Amino acid sequence: MPVTTLSFDEQYRALCARDARFDGQFIAGVHSTGIYCRPSCPAVAPKPRNVRFYRTAAAAHEAGLRACKRCQPDAVPGSPDWNLSDDLASRAMRLIGDGVVEREGVSGLAARLGYTSRHLTRVLSAELGAGPLALARAHRAQAARTLLSATALSVSDVAFAAGFSSIRQFNDTIQAVYETTPSQLRTLARRGGSAHPHLGNERPSTLTLKLPTRAPFDGPGLMTFFAHHAVDGIETATESSLERALRLPGGVATVRLQLIDQGIVCTAQLATISDVAPLVSRVRRLFDLDADSHAIDRALASDPALAASVARVPGMRLPGSVDTEETLFRTLIGQQISVAAARTVHARVARELGSDGLFPTAAQIVVSGRDVLRGPRTRVESILAVADALATGELNLDVATPVNEFTAKLVALPGIGPWTAGYMAMRVLGNPDTMLSSDLVVRQGAGELGLPTTASALTQYASRWAPWRSYACMHLWRSLPAQVERKPTSP
């Protein structure tokens, strides 16, 4: 159940039960002590009259509360509301988590969302209890706590890596939020077990972070997906790890992502230390780490047709994306062919057009794509038209774009239909409620489970799975034998 629909009594019961399923979904502010906690905090539950619940840590900060040193309420997965909802506040939080305020300021954040700074501040204050500056400040504090606990970076390097503009601002924020100094916070956080056990051997320029995950988490399923779709030359993947280069705002980074103890450990070599926030944000989206698996599984298992699949694969996640352009071109180039054939074509395109171990950008495809892309002329022209629209800025596929606008922009381009737009919404936006009813493999999977197999009938039946139709789609996709070798196939 989304936190926005929970009543005070429901949130208070979760707090009294120390229910870890709600960690990261809301903050419990205890005004008699002046602290805020995660729902699973082991402290004695406060009296109801002393508690207020907040959607964000920033709102708790604005109310004059500091973070609990015992439960470390920011060392948890993020709220699934930011993907489940498509309102202005949720879209703003996606960009704030990616470090847009630090790079472009509040005015840049507002411009990306298509509103004035004043209106954005008013909406966020009303819905989340804090404006964009306060939300970004809380995000910086959380990033700093993670870096202090999980790296050997100096305190000054941590300050700038987390997005602070000065050491003084950093020290003041840490003191206000945690009521301690950065050095003391590092000691406290490591004592809490959030540091990775091998960090002592890491060079200062290499970061290793363990990313919080909300259980249950089908990490093996995601790693298998990435392994079977890995492109030679830009990705090295196994059923437990993924290694590749990423484009980040400050330059190209190389990352190794490992599945350890049902969590993700990220080891990265960054071009600039200020890329930590966007790196973490994109890796979390790639593995759908903030999904509320309990709510999703409970809803889907209520349908007898899906109950066995949910029991077999609890914590199903959506494979995400770390580069919108790359995901779009790999989708367009690989349509209508097998996974193995698509990997071969993608590797050739990357080898002939790409650079720095990365898939080619839209600009690179515009310049040389006609000489490299093969297939029907109309298909090649469609890909080149998409590349030109992206390269010129005519097409902007930001993660904060409303899903209806996102899909409408795509289908307006020649050669892109509803299937491609829906698949991109699932992969790039993490949209939880997309149903690819026209997909051949999805319809075959539906047939295996005794469900309707025509697109129209399956669409009608799938309405009972809202707002989790994307996850139901994944269950249908994987219900076939040797499902890991298959991929969604555009009609």
pLDDT exceeds cutoff 60 at 379: yes
> How many CB atoms sit inside 10 A of residue 395's CB?
19
Mean pLDDT within 119-132: 95
Nearest 5°: the CA angle 197, 291, 430 is 115
Alpha-carbon torsion, ordered 134, 137, 141, 142, to 10 deg: 70
At 281-339, the pLDDT tens digits run 999 999 999 999 999 999 999 999 999 999 999 999 999 999 999 999 999 999 888 88
Measure the CA–CA gap between 209 and 268, rounded to whole angstroms: 9
Give the pLDDT score at 284: 95
C-alpha distances (whole Å) from 229 to each of 125, 358, 436, 443 are 42, 15, 19, 21
* Token pair belonging to 373: 């892309």
Q: What share of the chain is helix, strand, coil (3-state, %, to 5)?
A: 55, 10, 35
Give the pLDDT score at 196: 42
For the ranges 202-206, 270-274, 343-347, 367-371, which has the lowest average pLDDT?
A: 202-206
Give the pLDDT score at 309: 96
Give the pLDDT score at 481: 64
Find out whether 345 and 334 touch, Cβ atoms under 8 Å: yes
Closest CA to 419 of 335, 299, 329: 335
Catalytic residues: 37, 439
At 167-215, the pLDDT tens digits run 999 999 999 998 899 999 888 877 654 444 333 334 446 788 889 888 8
Q: What is the DSSP string of 373-419?
A: --S-HHHHHHHHHHHHHHHHTSS---TTS-HHHHHHHHHTSTT--HH
Mean pLDDT within 405-413: 96
CA atoms within 13 A on the CB side of 395: 23
pLDDT exceeds cutoff 60 at 47: yes
For the ranges 78-87, 109-118, 229-238, 433-442, which has the lowest average pLDDT?
A: 78-87
Mean pLDDT within 14-32: 90
For the ranges 4-18, 124-138, 181-195, 347-361, which has the lowest average pLDDT?
A: 181-195
Is residue 284 within a helix (H) or strand (E), and if so which, with residue range? helix 276-286
Give the pLDDT score at 216: 94
Find out whether 414 and 379 touch, Cβ atoms under 8 Å: no
For the chain, list the domains and their CATH numbers: 1-194 (3.40.10.10), 205-285 (3.30.310.20), 324-485 (1.10.340.30)
> How do beta strands 263-269 and 235-237 pair?
unpaired
C-alpha distances (whole Å) from 420 to each of 393, 403, 474 are 20, 13, 16
Mean pLDDT within 106-122: 95
Give the pLDDT score at 152: 81
Q: How far does Cα 412 stand from its chain's mean position? A: 26
Give the pLDDT score at 195: 42
C-alpha distances (whole Å) from 304 to each of 265, 301, 451, 464 are 35, 7, 11, 12
Measure the CA–CA gap between 346 and 404, rounded to whole angstroms: 29
Closest CA to 253 of 323, 194, 198, 202: 323
What is the average pLDDT score of the chain? 90
What percentage of the chain has pLDDT greater than the value 70? 94
Give the pLDDT score at 491: 55
Give the pLDDT score at 197: 37
Mean pLDDT within 149-167: 88
pLDDT exceeds cutoff 60 at 358: yes
Q: List beta partners, residue 252.
A: 247
pLDDT exceeds cutoff 50 at 226: yes
